[in-house]
Structures are given as structure tokens and as C-alpha cells.
Amino acid sequence: MANDRPLAAHEILDAFENVSDNEEDYRERLICILPPPVDPDCLTDEDSGEEDNVTLNNLPRNILLQPAEVMIQGQIMVSDTEEEPSDSTARTKRRRTYAWRKRDLAKNPVNWPDVQGACQDKRPIEWFENFLDEDVISLLVSESNKNAVKKNLPGDITTEDMKCFIGILLVSGYSWLPRRRMYWENSPDTKNELISSAMTRDRFDFIFRHLHVNDNLDLQDKYTKVRPLVTLLNKKFLEFSPLEEHYSVDEAMIPYYGRHGCKQHIKELNDEKILDALQNSDMDYDSDVSDNDPNYQPQKGKDLLLSDGYRYRKARTNTDGSVSWRCAETPCRGRVKVSLENVVVNVTRHSHAPDPAKNEAKKSVSNMKRRAEDTLEKPRQLIQGSTRGINLEASVHLPSYNASQRTVERIRQRREVSCPNPGSVADINIPVALQVTSRNLNFLLWDSGQNDLHRIFMFGTKENLEVLEEHRHWHVDGTFKVAPQLFLQVFTIHALVDNRSIPLIYVLLQDKREETYVRVFQKLMELKPTLNPISCLSDFEKAIQNAVCQVFHGVQVMGCLFHLGQCLWRKIQELHLVEEYRNEENVRMHLKMLLALSFVQEGDVITAFEELTESCPREIDAVIEYWEDTYIGRQRRNRRADPKFPIHVWNVHDRVHQGLPRTNNSVEGWHHAFQHTVDCHHPFIFKLIDHFRKEQDRVEIELERFRAGFRNPEASKKKYVQLNRRLETLMGNYNNDDLLPYLRGISNNLTL
């Protein structure tokens, strides 16, 4: 057989077709296709090691067109058919005909440039500057400053700072020391004058901590942190790489220093790779970072089934609706099947013992993560609450306190929209996610614009405006402690629904001017022209009351009785009458009778005031004058001057008869509860808006319960119920001919 000539491919196929059925004619033959001689300077697709997950679609054409050699090895006769059962019939042999296409492979010659000469024209520093140019530096500076500002630190990294920082990294790579800070030490054997004179250590550490390439919001892309940098570098490769004739695509492992270092590729592990497209001159013109297994997905965030001390991960959903779960321990082949009714219907034996303590720790950590996402508890309170009552055996499987705290912060940072703290009201750009409610309803009703020096933000929904239209008794008030930086107050508008004050509109204001309140109420009328409130209860702030009267004609502006008493008490303190009020019963009674004037019919208030002043002790004459100037009107000849607050503003006689609140205490209580929820003074503006959204969710639930027929009692505490009954009894016996005993009776039920 040594004289066998090489056969073409069609001759080999014909030989197979013409083989006789006699088994004695069969001989073992080894057929191989030998490639043609290859120029040693030419590249080959043969790799240096075993490749994994690589599919070879075709061989080069110059190899496929080479003649094949048939070589016979030994004289052992073998059969290529298996023995079939006697009762089976022989299959009919089918003859196949192969047709080969003939085509010319000659191509027009191409004159490729001299790659080596083109590369030698530039120095290494020029090549470096081609790729690390102003675009890359600007990207690093911009994203690093954003990261610093998000942490309430100055974003003052400049282009020169970033270039100096990169230069220090390059120098430190050649002159390596165990710790970075050694480059700035005064020790002569470690200090590097080139580095220490270029940048201070604190400045280098600041840039090092906040160095960023991307905001890392795309949780689906594991390499989103570096994706923009890779894209920019690929663009530079295509721009500066000379065109060449030969290219090679290969993959390389990344020896990074994260959780582990990839020293060699192991088929079972999903280590990271860099895919490179290289030219013959070793110039990289394209690269990408990818996983070894494109179908691999991390298990974080997936469901876990805890049963009988074992942990299972979801394997698949079966056709009958049941779910198959596999043991979370990799070597174990334990399985469990759960029906639609959450009943375990089949269990496969495990190869290891159960670990109920670890399962309990998993439950505790899961509870902590859920509370971190759903509540606003402080990390310390949250961690303590999640681990309370856990047994000692399970406690050893819990993460450390610092790790748990970082987990809570990471979950909340992922949940919140990443936005830098604005430096001015013009810089505020509310993210789209905060402009809608959890039901995807528009929540940002009005933004007065970046060019407005007194910029205003109004939050609420169209449904809230409809509630304001339907329920025409309003309460308005402002709070200052939860106002974010750049704003003075959070102004809220509530509607009285089922004896409850429901917050419906939230407004961020920079001042307390009357013009500002007018703009707010005018915008409400623009959004809902049919708004027509009957009454509006507020504290004794003249700017608010004037704005309400200016925009809503015919509305009855009311002052809060509690704030009226506070005004009286502050005046007593200002006039140094606290001791007299505390020790003299007659003084205390007459001062409280001034406040009781608010329960007299509006037409009888002046008469009651004049009768009261005739019996007042001389010690409180200054208080009487203040009350007359502010709430009654000074007597001038035959008429009284207009007081600062007219009688109808602070008189509550009609409101008590109508069953309406006398005070704004429900709104004050809401502000106190909301401040406790925010849990800090002057919060980050986007955090405050997120709290508005959560409060809106609660309001929607309350309104839906009201529509479903659930009702709220008038007062929750017994003492308030009894107080209201006593006041109603006294007002039922009202007699304008005997006002002083009426005032005395009312005053006994009032406190300052």
C-alpha cells in the first residue's frame, strides 16, 4: 500500500459506494486531510492550548481544496455494521451522488501598506496619547466628579489632576511599594520625589476613591462600570490602527484582583474573558469583555426555597404548573417538586446533612433586605430588628455588622435615583422616576422653571385635585424642619374628608411672601378651574389669608383657635405676666375669657369684649390693648378701626355648630408624623420627594377605604369627646343678654 497514490475527495466517495457486501473485503483504513505547506510568516488559526466553548464553522479554503491521501494501517478486518436481530428486514441501500462546484479562487492583488514602517513613525508616548486623549480624560473627570458630588463632597477634579493621577499610577507600576502612602513618606528608601512633588497624598486618595467611568445603573450588564471606556478605546483602535491584511480573533483571561484571580481557564467556572481582534503587527483593533458562558446568570436576587433544613434554587416550571427545585449545594443532586398548592409532592435524597441554622440566618438576612427596601429605618435599628430572637447557632452564619450595614446602604442606593445634590434651584432636575407615583400617575403638577429665581415645585395628582373640588373645607399649613436645602418651607394643602385632614398638595417654597402664595393658588385654579372652597383654615399668617381671599372669591378664611391661644400666651410672656397668670386666679380667668370671645356669636363679640374690659384687673391692661388693636379694632370716635385680623377670621361659633374643626391640630399632627418619617432635618431634596410619593400611596389607600364605606370617628380620645359635648351644651344655652357668665363657662374648658 506504500505505492497508493493520493486520492481526490470524489474518488474516495466513489470507493465507499462501490465496496462489496462481503465482509472479507473490508480493511481498516485511516483517512486524513493534510494541509498544504504554509509559509512560516503566515498566521494560523491553531491555538496554543485547548479551547472551550469555541465552534469552528469552516476551515480556510486553501486547506479544503487540497488533495487527500488514503493510508492503510494494518490488515485487521473490521465491520462498519452492527449485527441486527434475525426478525428485522435489511434496509435498502441508498446511493448518494455528490456534485462539486468549481470556481476560481484567484483574486485581484491588493497592495497592503507597510505596517512596520507606519508603526515606527511614532514614539511610544505618541501612541499612548492617541488612545488616552482628551475624550477619555474628560469621561473620567466628569464621572468621578459626579460620584464625589453624590456623596456630598466637592466635585473639583480637573483635567490636569486626572492626567497627574494616571501618571502616578504608571510610575508606581514600575516602582512598586507595598503601600501607596509610602511614596509620600519622608523615608529616603521609599519616598518618590517624582510622585510626591506632583500631587499630595490626600488629593491622590480623593481621586482614587471617586474614580468612576460610569454610574453603574444598568444592573443587567455586569461590566457597565467600564463599558464606556471600552467603547472609547475601540473607537481609538479603529481610528489609529493601520489597515492590514491578516487578522486573528482570540480570547484572553483577565488576571484581575477582585474576589479571585483567573490564572487558567476552567471549563466549569464562569470566569471573565476579553475577546480581542488582533492584527499581524499585534495591534488590537477591537475588544470586548464577556462571560465565558453567555447563558450564565448570577444567583443573587433569585428565589430560594427553604425546606427541612435544605436550601433549593428554582430549576424549572413543569407543564402541570408545579415547580422543580434543585439543591443549592453544587455537588448535591437533591431535588424537590412543589405543586400549585405549595405542597411538596416529591423529594430526592440529598448527599449531605440538613443545616437548619444556616436557613434561619438566610431568613434573617432576607428580612433585613426586604425591610431596607420597604422602610426608612436607620441601619442600626433595621439590623437589630431583623436579628432579634435568632438562635445562637444560626447567629454564626450571619454576616458581620459592617457587611450588613453596607448591604442596607447598597439596597437603598440602588432603589433611589442617583442624582447629585444640586448647588442651586436652577440645577434641580427631578428624575422621571420621581415625577410619577407608584401607580405611574403624574405626580409633578408644576415646576415654575429653571429661570425662575423663586422656583416652585408642586406635587400631587389629578385625582387629588378632584378630591379638593369635592371636599370644599380646606386646611393649609407650612413646615420648615423637613424643607430641603435651598427651600424655606414645605407648604401643604389638606381637605377635610370624613373628619380627617387628608394631605393632597405638597409645595416647595423658598419664602413666605404673599406673592408666592398667590402664585400657588393661581396655579391650582389653572390646573382645576372648578375649585371653589367654602372655608380655608390656617394659622394666623396674614400672607396666606390674603392670598386665599385674592384667588378664591367668597371663601371663608378661618384662623386656628390653637394658634390664637399661642399668640395670646406669647404676648403674656412678652409683657412679663407669667407669674401673675400662674398665681392670681382673677388674672388667669380674665385672660382665658379673652380667648373665649371666639365662641361668642360674631355680632355680639364687640359687646362681650366691652363688658369684659370693664371687669378686668388693671394688671392686664396692656394685654387688653393688644387684643383690641389686633382682633377687635381700636375705638375711633363713632367707629372702630379695622383690626389686623377681622372677627370672622378667629370666631369659631359657626364652625362648632357645623361640626367643623376649631383648630389646625390635625395638620400639625400630620407634619409631626411626616417629620418623624423623614427622620432628619432638611433632607436631600430627592429623598423628600420620594417621601411625598410614599405619603401619596397612603392617601390613595385612605381615600379608597372612604369610598368603600369605611368611616372615621370624630375623636379618638375620650377627653376630647367629652370636651366637645360640654362646649356644645354651653353654646346651646347661649344668651346674649348674659355674656360674662357664658365667657366664664367657656374659659373653664380652655387652656393656653
Residues 537 and 596 in one domain: no
Using H for helix, E for strand and C for coil, what is the string for 399-425? CCHHHHHHHHHHHHHHHCCCCCCCCCH
Average pLDDT, the chain: 78
**How many structural domains does the chain have?**
6
Cα separation, 137 vs 130, in Å, equals: 12
- Beta-strand relationship, 323-327 and 556-559: unpaired
219 occurs within a structural domain: no
Residue 290 pLDDT exceeds 60: no
Residues 3-19 have a mean pLDDT of 65
Cα separation, 657 vs 653, in Å, equals: 7
- Please, are residues 148 and 208 in contact by the beta-carbon 8 Å criterion? no
Residues 492 and 545 in one domain: yes
Here the cell at position 545 is 389669608
Residues 608 and 724 in one domain: yes
- Please, are residues 527 and 520 in contact by the beta-carbon 8 Å criterion? no
Residue 268 pLDDT exceeds 60: no
343 occurs within a structural domain: no
Tell me the per-residue pLDDT of 673-693, one tens digit each, with 9 for 90 and over.
898 888 788 888 888 998 999
Match 459626579 to its residue by C-alpha cell. Answer: 146
Residues 554 and 566 in one domain: no
Choose between 352 and 128: higher pLDDT.
Answer: 352
Cα separation, 161 vs 143, in Å, equals: 14
Residues 687 and 623 in one domain: no
- Given pLDDT bands bounded at 50, 70 and 90, which one contains residue 30? low
- Beta-strand relationship, 535-538 and 473-479: parallel
Q: Does the CA dihedral 328-334-338-343 come out positive or negative?
A: negative
- Please, are residues 580 and 551 in contact by the beta-carbon 8 Å criterion? no
The parent domain of residue 272 ranges over 227-291
Residues 125 and 239 in one domain: no
**Worst-scoring range by mean pLDDT, 301-310, 312-321, 623-632?**
301-310
Residue 225 pLDDT exceeds 90: no
Which candidate, 209, 215, 211, places its Cα nearest to that of 228? Answer: 215
598 occurs within a structural domain: yes
Cα separation, 141 vs 207, in Å, equals: 9
317 occurs within a structural domain: no
- Given pLDDT bands bounded at 50, 70 and 90, which one contains residue 505? very high
347 occurs within a structural domain: no
Residue 298 pLDDT exceeds 60: no
DSSP state of 619: G
Residues 514 and 622 in one domain: no
Residues 29 and 161 in one domain: no
Which candidate, 446, 438, 455, places its Cα nearest to that of 516? Answer: 455
Using H for helix, E for strand and C for coil, what is the string for 659-672? CCCCCCHHHHHHHH
Cα separation, 57 vs 172, in Å, equals: 45
3-state secondary structure of 693: helix
Cα separation, 588 vs 593, in Å, equals: 9
469 occurs within a structural domain: yes
- Given pLDDT bands bounded at 50, 70 and 90, which one contains residue 706? confident
Cα separation, 421 vs 190, in Å, equals: 40
Cα separation, 504 vs 471, in Å, equals: 11
Cα separation, 553 vs 534, in Å, equals: 10
Residue 641 pLDDT exceeds 70: yes
Which candidate, 208, 232, 280, 222, places its Cα nearest to that of 254? Answer: 222
Domain boundary among 396, 411, 426: 411
Here the cell at position 414 is 440602588
Residues 641 and 574 in one domain: yes
- Give per-residue burial for 541-578: e unless 16+ CB within 10 Å, then b: beebbebbeebbeebbbbbbbebbbebbbebbeeeebe
Dihedral in degrees, nearest 10, Cα atoms 51, 57, 63, 65 = 160
Residue 460 pLDDT exceeds 90: yes
**Worst-scoring range by mean pLDDT, 213-222, 540-549, 555-564?**
213-222
Residues 284 and 381 in one domain: no
Residue 305 pLDDT exceeds 70: yes
**Worst-scoring range by mean pLDDT, 152-166, 408-422, 545-559?**
408-422
3-state secondary structure of 613: helix
Residues 182-187 have a mean pLDDT of 87
- Given pLDDT bands bounded at 50, 70 and 90, which one contains residue 444? very high
Query: In the prediction, which pLDDT does 34 show?
Result: 54
417 occurs within a structural domain: no
Domain boundary among 185, 210, 235: 210
Q: At what angle do helices 159-174 and 201-210 cross, to 10 degrees?
A: 100
In sequence order, what E strands does 365-518 have? 444-447, 457-459, 473-479, 489-497, 500-509
Q: How far is CA 135 from CA 42, 158, 234, 235, in A?
A: 37, 14, 13, 11
Which candidate, 626, 512, 633, places its Cα nearest to that of 569? Answer: 626
Cα separation, 470 vs 534, in Å, equals: 11
Query: In the prediction, which pLDDT does 114 show?
Result: 55
380 occurs within a structural domain: yes
CATH number where 683 lies: 3.30.420
Residues 371 and 401 in one domain: yes
Query: In the prediction, which pLDDT does 522 show?
Result: 95
Dihedral in degrees, nearest 10, Cα atoms 630, 632, 638, 639 = 80
Tell me the per-residue pLDDT of 582-616, one tens digit each, with 9 for 90 and over.
888 888 899 999 999 999 988 888 988 988 888 88
Residue 83 pLDDT exceeds 60: no
**Worst-scoring range by mean pLDDT, 137-141, 232-236, 560-564?**
232-236
Residues 16 and 100 in one domain: yes
> Model's pTM, two decimal places?
0.52
